[in-house]
Amino acid sequence: MTKEKLIQTSHSCKEVSIQKNINSEETTKEILAEETPIAIIYNGVSHVVMMASPCDLEDFARGFSITEGVITSLSDIYSIEVLKKDNGIEINLEISTEKFIRLKEIRRNLTGRTGCGLCGAESLDQVLKIPENKKNETKFFSKSILKALKNFSGQQEIQKKTGATHACGLFNSKGDLIILKEDVGRHNALDKLIGASLNTKILNDFFVITSSRASYEMVQKLAYLNLKLLVAISAPTALATRLADQIEMTLVGFARNNRYNCYTHPTQIIG
Task: Give the residue numbers marked as catalytic.
Answer: 116
Q: Read out DSSP for 194-224?
A: HHHHTTS---TT-EEEESS-B-HHHHHHHGG
Rounded distance between C-alpha atoms, residue 177 and residue 169, angstroms: 7
CB neighbour burial string for 239-267, b if at least 16 within 10 angstroms, e if fewer: ebbbbbeebbbbbbbbbeeeebebbbbee
Rounded distance between C-alpha atoms, residue 170 and residue 216, angstroms: 19
CB neighbour burial string for 126-138, b if at least 16 within 10 angstroms, e if fewer: eeeeebeeeebeb
Closest CA to 7 of 40, 36, 30: 36
Rounded distance between C-alpha atoms, residue 43 and residue 182, angstroms: 27
Rounded distance between C-alpha atoms, residue 127 and residue 135, angstroms: 24
Rounded distance between C-alpha atoms, residue 164 and residue 84, angstroms: 23
Q: Read out DSSP for 129-164?
A: -PPPP------EEHHHHHHHHHHHGGG-HHHHHHS-
